[in-house]
Structure 1
Amino acid sequence: MDQISSQADALRYAIQSESSDFIINSIDVEWHTKMPREMIEIGLAVLDSRDIRGIEPGWNAENWMRKVYFYHFRIKEHGHLPNTFAHSEGFDWGTMVWLSKAEAKKALIQCFSWPVEDNESTDLSDGKELKLRPVLFLGHAVENNTAELKKALDLDLEAIGTIVKSVGTQVIAKLKGIRPRGRRVIGLKDLCYEHGISIQVLHNAGNDIAYTMFCALLMAAQEDKIFITPARRQEMEKFTDEVKAAGRALDPPSWGMTKFCARYNRDGHLEKGCRDRVRCKKCEAAGERKAKIFSHDTDRCKSQYYQRLIPQEN
């Protein structure tokens, strides 16, 4: 892999080479817009090169895209903090699950620790020495995401030792002559448009990473930039809807919970329709109206994120 110079070639090698045994992991994170900018979502897309070995990509990389697994994690500790740019619950490619920060860290470590032998567990907590498969780490802006994971989860993906190469779709797009519009680097929305992909909800970490993986596979499959016609856009939209529906039809991932109340910090039910009695001592001490005091638990108070002066408990 060292002799491969460009990121585009590295991605193509990991996907198409008969001698490669790569896992392609792609990650995106979303964080709350107010200080201290807590991580609220993680999006993960996983492609096993064994699943597409010897398979041609197809006209729209559809044969590869159908083999990708998509995940959307919301962080329990910060579930009460809104994603103001989009919809945290609007994951289109599968079933969203709630994880604690510790659970999210463990899940990501497992995804970067695939054993060479299929019958061995990815749980390394028992201290077993395993031979692990190489990982190509993919993102739209890889450095940003690795920095956020270090800060939020105390997780250094490089320290796991399986990442052979990190590649970014922004860099690959530049190498392929796909230019941004009035920006130094191309945004994900523009990159999708250049490939005929219609986007419905961005800034949802699960959706963002699905589109990132889609663009990466298209750029790996196509040597030259493709002229996008209205008919091709319709074809891409139909195929994208098919992949989304297939992802939603799968069972939820084994990690985390599908039901969690961010209002009360409890598993087993959703915030919508929650009738549990809650009371925020911080809002009560600050003299807030009753509707606000009884709308959330003390440890789910958002006032601290809006830099308001809240009296501290003794």
Structure 2
Amino acid sequence: ALEGCFKKATDLDVFHHCIGGNRIPDIPDFAEEAARHIILVCLDCEHWSNNTDETTEVGIATFRQQDILRLREKGDLGPRGERLMQQVKFYLLRLIETSHLPNGNPHSRGVDGNRFGQGRFVTFAEARQIMHDLFVQPIKDVPGLTGNHPIVVLGHDVGHDKNNLKHKAIAFDMDPIGTVIRYIDTQVLARDKMFWIGKHNEQIGLRQLVGHLWFEHSDPHTAANDAGRTLIAAFQIALHGHACTRHAKPMVEVAEDLEEYSVANFTPIGGVAEYCWRCGKAGHMKAACTAKDLHCDECEENECELEPGEEHITAHCLCIAQAKANLRREKDAEARAVKKAQPKPPTRSRGGRP
């Protein structure tokens, strides 16, 4: 019932409902209470720049509608909605299997530049379980209400991240679970609220959107940063024109304070704080590794000459990853060549003129 009602609404109407604004109309009486217990999950996935088949991070920003509603009922939104945004929990999942792949983005420090919550190392299987647990959250202590919390999923190009989770190594498909009642997108929100009118259906980039909303997108393409700023952008679009947005505190300061608040109030949902992609052990990072006699089958076969301290186990061999990346590029080049060789359809003249 909820899914049908929410499908008819705009992305902006759905987000307004989630943050205690105007409610979605025509919700059946039996579903009214469930519609007050939505959980919103904002997602971003990041990949190795040399081979985007390799997922390296997942960023999560999530809040419970009930936490927002309690503040809305008091009128306690904070400057530019800061109190509302403090209810968001932020997580950075660093994938153990790809943790050795170096950041290739000159405009970002990668995971070292994470500003929201804290990072935790997890395996692909652990990430899959964490995602499942996010999307299957039983409703508790609500008289007369059973089942799981309805989920609204937000993203910046949400279909892209949804497909990456499904088709790459994490292999998490949220659709069959049955808790998602709507997918919404900040690219659509920006158009709905006339923050962006791109030519030829051109979509606004996250950095550009953040700039329009008067805060900064430093260290982009770090998963929790992208997820966090996607959700902050959604709040600012939805609250545009509200009295709280006329506060003297600048938006850039609100965003920076929120980053610090999220780190100070972080509670992990799984994984380990430190993992070494040299020896494959938890409890320390590579820089502190003192392991001896590490062996890599690939480097031994290739007779690689490694600098002292660069010895590693086979599971974290960059040579293997680079070989996969080269193979991917070759396949992509072949596919482009085949496409280019295909005959183009004949051009049709206009107006019947020769």
TM-score for both structures, normalised by structure 1: 0.86
Q: Does 1:92 align with 2:96?
A: no
Give the aligned partner of residue 123 of structure 1: none
Give the aligned partner of residue 84 of structure 2: 64
Distance 1:193 1:254 in 2: 31
Provide closer, same or farther for how the CA distance between residues 13 and 105 of structure 1 changes in structure 2, counting only shifts above 3 A: same
C-alpha contact 2:278 2:310 (8 A) present in aligned 1? no
Higher alpha-carbon deviation: 183-192 or 2-11: 2-11
Structure 1 runs of 4+ aligned residues shifted over 4 Å read: 180-183
Q: Match of 2:289, SS?
A: coil
Give the aligned partner of residue 12 of structure 2: 8
Displacement after TM superposition at 1:10 (Å): 1.1
Higher alpha-carbon deviation: 243-252 or 165-174: 243-252
Q: Match of 1:246, SS?
A: helix
Structure with greater helix percent: 2
Q: Does 1:263 align with 2:278?
A: yes
TM-score for both structures, normalised by structure 2: 0.77
Q: Does 1:247 align with 2:262?
A: yes
Provide closer, same or farther for how the CA distance between residues 254 and 179 of structure 1 changes in structure 2, counting only shifts above 3 A: closer
Structure 1: state its 5+ residue gaps: 120-129, 310-314
Residue 53 of structure 2 aligns with an amino acid whose one-letter code is: R
Cα RMSD (Å)? 2.7
Distance 2:190 2:234 in 1: 9
Displacement after TM superposition at 1:8 (Å): 0.6
C-alpha contact 2:153 2:184 (8 A) present in aligned 1? yes
Displacement after TM superposition at 1:30 (Å): 0.3
The one of 113, 120, 136 equivalent to 2:152 is 136
Distance 1:292 1:282 in 2: 17
Give the aligned partner of residue 179 of structure 2: 162
The one of 215, 219, 225 equivalent to 2:233 is 215
Give the aligned partner of residue 352 of structure 2: none
Displacement after TM superposition at 1:305 (Å): 2.7
Give the aligned partner of residue 224 of structure 2: 206
Q: Report how many aligned residue pairs link the two structures.
A: 296
Distance 1:264 1:210 in 2: 32
Give the aligned partner of residue 101 of structure 2: 81
Higher alpha-carbon deviation: 11-20 or 190-199: 11-20
Displacement after TM superposition at 1:273 (Å): 2.0
Q: Match of 1:291, SS?
A: coil
C-alpha contact 2:79 2:254 (8 A) present in aligned 1? no
Displacement after TM superposition at 1:58 (Å): 4.2
**Rg comparison, structure with higher value:** 2
Distance 1:181 1:83 in 2: 31
- Percentage of identical aligned residues: 25
Displacement after TM superposition at 1:40 (Å): 0.5
Distance 1:62 1:101 in 2: 34
Distance 1:199 1:35 in 2: 24
Distance 1:251 1:13 in 2: 26
Give the aligned partner of residue 307 of structure 1: 323
